[in-house]
Amino acid sequence: MLVLFFLVAAFYSKAQTVPVSGKVYSKDNNTGLSGATVQVKGSSVKTITDSLGVFKINAAKGAVLIFSYVGYDNTEIKLNGAGDLTIQLAPGNKSLQEVVVVGYGTVKKKDLTGSVASVSTKEFNSTPISDAGQAVEGKAAGVQVMSSGAPGSNVTFRIRGTGTINNADPLLVVDGVPTDAPLNNINPDDIASLDILKDASAGAIYGSRGANGVILITTKKGKNAKGQLSFNFFTGWQNAAKTVQMLNAAQFAALNNEMLANGNQAINPAFAKPDNLGIGTNWLSALLHTAPMQKYTLSLSGGSDKYTYYLSGSYLDQQGIVVTTRYKRYALQFNSEAKVLDWLKFGNNITFTADDKPSGSYDIRSTMASNPVQPIYNKDGSYSNVLGNPLWYGDITNQIGSANINQNDTKGYNVLGNVYAEIALAAGLKFKSTGGIQAQFWDSRSWAPVYNFQPNPQTQAYLSEQYNKSLTFLWDNYFTYDKTFATDHHLTLMAGTSAQNNRYDYMNGNIVKFPSSITQQLNDGTGVANIGGDASEWALFSLMGRANYTYQDKYLLTATLRRDGSSRFGADNKYGIFPSASVAWRISKENFFKNIQLINDLKLRAGYGVTGNQNIGNYAFASALNVAQVNFNNNIVSMVYPLVLPNPNVQWEQVEQSNIGIDASFLHSRINLSVDAYLKNSTKMLVPAVVPVTTGYSSTTVPSINAGNMQNKGIEITVNTHNLTGNFTWNTDFNIAFNQNKITSLNSSTPLYVDNYGLNANFGIDAVGHPANEFYGFVTDGLFQTQTDVNKHAVQQAGTSKYNSTSPGDIRFKDLNNDGVINAGDMTYIGNPNPQFIYGLGNSFSYKGFDLSVFLQGIYGNKIFNANNIYQESMNTGENQTVRTNQRWEGAGTGNYMPRAIYGDPNNNSRVSTRYIENGSYLRIKNITLGYTFPKTILQHIKFSSVRIYASCNNVYTFTHYSGFDPEVGVNGVDYSVYPVTRTMSVGINLNL
């Protein structure tokens, strides 16, 4: 970068300039504008006006001066020479003129009647991100984004809370094509706009798929201009923002001795003097490392009045902080549009990606549990084994060895795009036909050679492969009529059809016993081969229409209607109708508002709509059948038997949503405010049916019926301010969203248990009157300090000695029903994983080519269930524990939180309880970026139109009380072997020719 700087500077030459002065006025009241910016176009030379609006600047003859002021339209003046200028700026709000994508069309921001959030694409271009979802986190009110540090992982969105106990993901639409492709398939550098339809009045145009919100992405298009070549590059280094501290060898040995002695077990003679063992092995440190990443994007765009094009190619290589994890993505984007005739044009938007995601075989929780006394390698360089009594040394296989030797890899090839034709039939009337495709091909492969890792050796080489194909086709046809009548009336109508169908196929096979690790094909295995495969299909046909009406730019009405026919619905519910309507009143356009100078724009909005969720599975209306083999008359025969009862009445889940909002701009748009309040009622949620025992189905898989209800209600606030203007600028963006979630019906009084993660314990529960996924368990009440305390309390675990019964040092659980016994009747609701509010705060500064942005993001009021600690703070087996267990109870008065260490845990101290519930609130310095843009006067001699260099840090620091790796653990709030969020330091450059 320094070399580039000096090369550019070498070409620098200063043009001859003349002094120019003048005054900048406001056109509406003829007063001087203090702090207005006067800039020489194409250069960094600029000044600001004084308190009276007066300015002085030097500029070359023939140069163009740009006059700008927040809340006013820009004006450009070409200079003929030195002189005194008088400039009048007209009030305006550029942000209100921005175009927002709303599905099957666009609308100016000022004409919105629904709740739509737009994320500036500046976030994609000015900071180093590999996934567009990262740029959304904290930037849109009411949109919660949860990400993982795993390379190639996809973010999870929740728009206005969790809308269903089933699939609550929003619909993703890319260039008009609804898709279930991961968002990380899209190169962020190719995105031109990202808009989020939050309320039903906006999302109802997508009918049975709009219940959980809609994310609309539009990729970049070419412009009627000469070709522009752009190159973006960044490289970075990632590490774990925080790790969990585990016991070292000496601490582990001391704990192990104490645990076994308290459990009346023999102590390991090798641990007789724990301090002599020293630090030992830090397994987490060996599994996690600093990982590099880099990303390149090269694009070419341009065109004429007849043809425009945009072509880009990108490459991302992101190694994971967990050894053996990696993600590579190759992406091509080609968008073009040709105006063949005055009334006919064709175009296309095509995205192709190929990715490779090797992951090895790792387990973060097992790595935490690994014995620190055991080395990673033997003296001969081979991987070490766990030998001896598992009570002394544990039973965890060498995690570094298995991570490096076992192979797991997934490769994908994806095409997403469309071709379209648009015909101008008459003045204001257009017809557009679009054919879209989403083709996904991915294969996964797992290979494990023979190795002798005790206590779980791989005695036979194993190979498993799976091949997947998913093809989705789309055909949209719709008319658009746009007309202004008698100056005051503006009407836009849209009506059309949409048809989409998908087929998914997969085949898999696995086999063992390979003669050599060199031969790694299914045909080379000599064991019994297992093969399988399946297919599924769905189709959707829709009729849709929308009307937008505006009168005198102050009374606005939007009405939509969509009728969806889906193959997923039952025979009696094949079609669903999804209406919506919204109105807005721009009060600031009324005559009585003209003299109010403080507020320059004020609009009230209100809307209501019905949307659906068709992600209910493909064949819920039919009986699911299973194939099996049985012994009949001493012969093996095949049979088909019903596994799940059919539900011919199954239909879409439905959301009815009301929204009221206000948009206001103050002080010539220096302060912009949006406030929304909503009530979102989800009905017809799929829940398990109550099936009589006599059917024979009650103990297996029961059918789901549309009988559940859920409610979300909340308030969203967005504030944008232009604090300082001129040579030094300072802008602030702030948003905050409050949401309350509650289940109102589940078809029965029996709650639904969720999130057991295969641990023989249910962490979460869905119950009427409570939020989704609320944690459920026992309530702790300190520790028993003496046997007298134990005797006075309700019976927890009866026994004959301290080795097999509740004793001093054990956790005291509350007897909530006062029956004198601690059992399932004392379990209760112990924590809500849903935050009370989420927020984001960004500040951006600029001065003479330098730019600095600082962004903060956080959530408040949620709880996390730290399931890792069920094992890592149990102190009842030979597994390693966290350093918090150094505060364990070792006698009366020594502690009141961490229980005694005892083999077998007779009191079941590790049961699901408030012991594992932690505060999930956090405030994160999400990003700090410092950049510098070289002046155009320097660049013009080397033919660059712009050059920007920058340094950035993501996930700088997190303020939290959470004891785990990171409080961003996922939508259900359970932390169990979650890949930790990473801190990334990076530098980059953006070049434009």
- Rounded to an integer, what distance in angstroms lies between the CA atom of residue 63 and that of residue 795? 89
Cβ–Cβ < 8 Å for 38, 44: no
Cross-strand partners of 662:
604, 675
Nearest residue to 714 via CA among 831, 836, 609, 832: 836
Q: What's at 161, amino acid-wise?
A: G
Most confident of 65-69, 202-206, 687-691: 202-206
Quick one: pLDDT band at residue 11, thresholds 50, 70, 90? very low
What DSSP string describes 233-261?
EEEEEEEES--PPBP-HHHHHHHHHHHHH
Residues 6+ apart with CB under 8 A from 489: 549, 550, 551
Cross-strand partners of 409:
358, 445
358: its two tokens: 């090797």
Helix (H) or strand (E) holding 498: strand 489-512
- Whole-number percent of the chain with pLDDT over 70: 95
- Rounded to an integer, what distance in angstroms lies between the CA atom of residue 165 and that of residue 145? 18
Q: Which of 123-127, 141-145, 304-308, 434-438 has the lowest mean pLDDT?
A: 123-127
Cβ–Cβ < 8 Å for 244, 869: no
- Rounded to an integer, what distance in angstroms lies between the CA atom of residue 97 and that of residue 109? 6
Q: Please write the tens of the pLDDT for every residue from 217-275.
A: 999 999 888 889 999 999 999 999 999 999 999 999 999 999 999 999 999 999 999 99
Cross-strand partners of 408:
446
Q: Please write the tens of the pLDDT for every residue from 386-437.
A: 878 889 988 899 999 999 999 999 999 999 999 999 999 999 999 999 999 9
Helix (H) or strand (E) holding 421: strand 407-426
Backbone angles phi, psi at 565, to 5 degrees: -115, 120
395: its two tokens: 């039973």
Quick one: pLDDT band at residue 4, thresholds 50, 70, 90? very low
**Cα within 13 Å of Cα(515), Cβ side:** 4
Does residue 98 register a pLDDT over 80?
no
Nearest residue to 558 via CA among 568, 567, 546: 546
- Rounded to an integer, what distance in angstroms lies between the CA atom of residue 888 and that of residue 810? 10
Please state, as a whole number, how many other Cβ atoms lie within 10 Å of the Cβ of residue 145.
20
Q: What's at 883, amino acid-wise?
A: V
Backbone angles phi, psi at 465, to 5 degrees: -135, 145
Q: What is the DSSP letter of 795?
A: B
Instruction: Note if the bond before 455 is cis, omega within 30 degrees.
Output: yes
- Work out the average pLDDT over 21-43: 81
Please state, as a whole number, how many other Cβ atoms lie within 10 Å of the Cβ of residue 627.
9
**Average pLDDT value for the chain:** 90
3-state secondary structure 69-103: CCCECCEEEECCCCEEEEEEECECCHHHHCEEECC
Does residue 134 register a pLDDT over 90?
no
682: its two tokens: 């989800």
More confident residue, 284 or 620: 284
What are the percentages of helix, strand and coil residues in the chain, rounded to 5?
15, 50, 40
Q: What is the pLDDT of residue 34?
A: 77
37: its two tokens: 């910016």
Q: Please write the tens of the pLDDT for every residue from 935-953.
A: 887 877 777 888 999 999 9
Burial label, 792 (beta-carbon count in 10 A; 0-12, 13-18, 19+):
exposed
Cβ–Cβ < 8 Å for 372, 396: no
Cβ–Cβ < 8 Å for 613, 655: yes
Does residue 291 register a pLDDT over 90?
yes
- Whole-number percent of the chain with pLDDT over 90: 66
pTM: 0.88
Does residue 934 register a pLDDT over 70?
yes
**Cα within 13 Å of Cα(612), Cβ side:** 25
Q: What is the pLDDT of residue 92?
A: 66
Nearest residue to 902 via CA among 874, 867, 868, 869: 874
Q: What is the pLDDT of residue 476?
A: 96
Please state, as a whole number, how many other Cβ atoms lie within 10 Å of the Cβ of residue 510.
18
What DSSP string describes 728-741?
EEEEEEEEEEEEEE
Quick one: pLDDT band at residue 9, thresholds 50, 70, 90? very low
- Rounded to an integer, what distance in angstroms lies between the CA atom of residue 949 and that of residue 760? 53
Helix (H) or strand (E) holding 303: strand 291-303
Does residue 605 register a pLDDT over 90?
yes
- Work out the average pLDDT over 543-551: 95
Does residue 318 register a pLDDT over 80?
yes
Please state, as a whole number, how many other Cβ atoms lie within 10 Å of the Cβ of residue 516.
9
Q: What is the pLDDT of residue 10?
A: 38
- Rounded to an integer, what distance in angstroms lies between the CA atom of residue 229 and that of residue 217? 23
Q: Please write the tens of the pLDDT for every residue from 723-734.
A: 998 889 999 999
Q: What's at 516, amino acid-wise?
A: S
Tokens 């600031």 belong to which residue?
588
Cross-strand partners of 730:
724, 845
Q: What is the pLDDT of residue 700?
A: 58
Collapsed DSSP state (helix, strand, coil) of residue 181: coil
Q: What is the pLDDT of residue 135?
A: 84
Q: What is the pLDDT of residue 749?
A: 75
Cβ–Cβ < 8 Å for 349, 323: no
Quick one: pLDDT band at residue 892, thresholds 50, 70, 90? very high
Q: Please write the tens of the pLDDT for every residue from 755-795.
A: 666 666 678 888 999 999 999 999 999 999 999 999 999 99
- Work out the average pLDDT over 576-587: 95
Nearest residue to 577 via CA among 207, 213, 206: 207
Does residue 812 register a pLDDT over 80?
yes
- Rounded to an integer, what distance in angstroms lies between the CA atom of residue 875 and that of residue 742? 37
From the centroid of its chain, how far is CA 677?
23
What DSSP string describes 587-654?
GGGSGGGTT--SEEEEEEEEEEEEEEE--S-S-TTS-EEEEEEEEETTEEEEEEEEEE---TT---EE
Q: What's at 757, amino acid-wise?
A: Y
Quick one: pLDDT band at residue 12, thresholds 50, 70, 90? very low
Most confident of 380-384, 615-619, 701-705: 380-384
Q: What is the pLDDT of residue 541?
A: 96
Q: Which of 566-580, 727-741, 920-934 has the lowest mean pLDDT?
A: 566-580
Backbone angles phi, psi at 148, to 5 degrees: -130, 160
Does residue 891 register a pLDDT over 90?
yes
**Residues found in the chain:** 993
Does residue 5 register a pLDDT over 80?
no
Burial label, 513 (beta-carbon count in 10 A; 0-12, 13-18, 19+):
middle
Backbone angles phi, psi at 141, to 5 degrees: -60, 130
Does residue 451 register a pLDDT over 60?
yes
Q: Please write the tens of the pLDDT for every residue from 166-215.
A: 999 999 999 999 999 888 889 999 999 999 999 999 999 999 999 999 99
What DSSP string describes 571-589?
GGGSEEEEEEEEEEEEGGG
Q: What is the pLDDT of residue 182?
A: 87
Quick one: pLDDT band at residue 106, thresholds 50, 70, 90? confident
Distances (CA, A) of 490 to 79, 282, 481, 551, 553: 39, 69, 11, 6, 8
What DSSP string describes 765-793?
EE-TTS-TTEEEEB-EEEE--SHHHHHHS
Does residue 14 register a pLDDT over 60?
no
- Rounded to an integer, what distance in angstroms lies between the CA atom of residue 22 and that of residue 87? 8
- Rounded to an integer, what distance in angstroms lies between the CA atom of residue 45 and that of residue 15? 12
